[in-house]
Amino acid sequence: MKTRKMMKVLVVLGLIVCAGFKTSFAQDTEIPIILPYSGNFNEWIITFTNGADTYTFETDDDTFDSGILGTLPKGTYTINFNSPYFGSENFDILVYNGGDIIGHGITSFTDLTLYNVVIGDEPLVQIDAGY
Residue at 3 is within a domain: no
Residue at 68 is within a domain: yes
Residue at 16 is within a domain: no
Residue at 95 is within a domain: yes
Residue at 40 is within a domain: yes
Residue at 64 is within a domain: yes
Q: How many domains does the chain have?
A: 1
Distance separating alpha carbons of residues 116 and 126, to the nearest angstrom: 17
Distance separating alpha carbons of residues 125 and 71, to the nearest angstrom: 13
- The whole-number average pLDDT for the span 56-65 is 78
Evaluate if pTM is beyond 0.85.
Answer: no
Show the domain range for 33: 29-129
92-116 per-position pLDDT tens digit? 999 999 999 999 998 777 789 999 9
At residue 126 the predicted structure's pLDDT band, cuts being 50, 70 and 90, is very high
Residue at 113 is within a domain: yes
Distance separating alpha carbons of residues 107 and 86, to the nearest angstrom: 8
- Residue 30 Cα to chain centre, angstroms: 7
Are the beta carbons of 100 and 126 closer than 8 angstroms?
no
CATH value at residue 112: 2.60.40
Helix or strand holding residue 15 (H, E): helix 2-26
